[in-house]
Amino acid sequence: MHGKCGATYESGSLRRYHLGRTETIRSCTLEAQQFARAMTEQHNETGSHTKYELFLKAMQAQRQYTTDAINAKGIDRHLLGLRLIAAENNLPKPALYNHISYKRAMHYILSTSQVGAKHDCVMIYGPAVDDGYGCCYNPRNDSINYMVTTFKINNEGTNAIEFSNHFNSSLTDMRSLIEVQCWYMDDVQDNPQDDHRLKDIDVPTLCDRTGVQVWHFQPEKTFANNECPSLTKLKQDRG
């Protein structure tokens, strides 16, 4: 949407520790960036299975960072503690806290939080910075409720409606990627010569073998132009 990555904040609970509150889960990992770049390529150069592998790596990186954060292995509260110690002892602020890299790291363009609930509801809060977004989400069994906020008056080009549209498209693309990949992996069990680990999905061959009639892909390329029928549609077409 904006063509760049930014610092991302997600709350991680430290309630297991005495007086513990939160630690920052920095969701914008290198693995997440690599996956996002592959999914948004203009000419769809990356094959579907490679995208799927990048997705798994991004998911594992997120899981590991979350585990580290809630087990007091994050960096943000540690750095906050050092800064407060200096202030309490009337010491000059360490040079680190004036460095441009630290300031950028603390400028949370995207502030997120997962607040899960069985009910059809979602929380809401504002962005952390003037040119940022707030996004609270509630993952449910068959849907994801979320709320996007921006400041009404700003000069940074933020747009909650456009963000929401891109968010919806991204979730749909990821679902399609996972569903088709898993479906293909099931098919490979009966046709080991087409092992997905050896090559990307050969769409025409797969269609011929399974009887699928509706595929809106360029030849030999999966997810061209981000078009993919849902798994329900695929099953219907297969009969």
Among 229, 231, 222, smallest CA distance to 39 is for: 222
Q: How many residues does the chain have?
A: 239
- Domain assignment of residue 228, yes or no: yes
In a domain, 50, yes or no: no
> Would you state the structure tokens that stand for residue 58, as one six-digit string?
């991004």
CB-CB contact of 203 with 215 (8 Å): yes
pLDDT digits (tens, 9 = 90+) for 88-130: 999 999 999 999 999 999 999 999 988 887 777 778 888 999 8
Q: How far apart are CA 154 and CA 133, in angstroms?
A: 12
**For residue 220, what pLDDT is reported?**
36
Q: Is residue 144 part of a domain?
A: no
Tell me what the mean pLDDT of segment 64-78 comes to.
94
> What is the rounded CA–CA span in Å between residue 106 and residue 55?
26
- How many domains does the chain divide into? 1
* Residue pair 62/70 in contact by the 8 Å Cβ criterion: no
The rounded mean pLDDT for the chain is 78
> Is 203 a member of any domain?
yes
User: What value does the mean pLDDT take over residues 124-151?
Assistant: 88
Task: Report the percentage of the chain scoring pLDDT > 70.
Answer: 75
Q: What is the pLDDT of residue 73?
A: 93
Structure confidence at residue 196 (pLDDT): 46
Q: Would you state the structure tokens that stand for residue 44, as one six-digit string?
A: 């769809």
Q: Specify the 3-state DSSP secondary structure of 238.
A: helix
Q: 216 lies in a domain?
A: yes
* Structure tokens given for 5: 């990555």
Angle at 217 between CA 216 and CA 220, to 5 degrees: 150
Considering only residues 193 and 3, tell me which one the structure prediction assigns the higher pLDDT.
Answer: 3
Per-residue confidence (pLDDT) for residue 154, from 0 to 100: 63
The pLDDT of residue 117 is 79
233: containing domain = 172-239
Between helix 160-190 and helix 203-210 the angle, nearest 10°, is: 60
- Residue 180 in any domain: the answer is yes
Q: What is the rounded average pLDDT of the residues 176-199? A: 61
Distance CA(217)–CA(176), nearest Å, equals 13
* CB < 8 Å & 24+ apart, contacts of 49-58: 49/181, 49/196, 49/197, 49/199, 49/200, 49/201, 50/200, 51/177, 51/223, 52/177, 52/178, 52/181, 55/174, 55/177, 55/178, 57/31, 58/29, 58/31, 58/32, 58/34
- Report if residue 189 sits inside a domain: yes
CA angle 24, 25, 29 (to 5 degrees): 135
What is the dihedral angle through the alpha carbons of 41, 44, 46, 51, rounded to the nearest 10 degrees?
Answer: 70
pLDDT at 48 over 90: no
Rg of the chain (C-alpha set)? 22
Looking at residue 98, its pLDDT comes to: 94
Question: What pLDDT, on the 0 to 100 scale, is given for residue 188?
Answer: 52
Give a yes or no: residue 115 inside a domain: no
Could you report the per-residue pLDDT of 162-173, keeping only the tens digit for each? 999 898 888 888
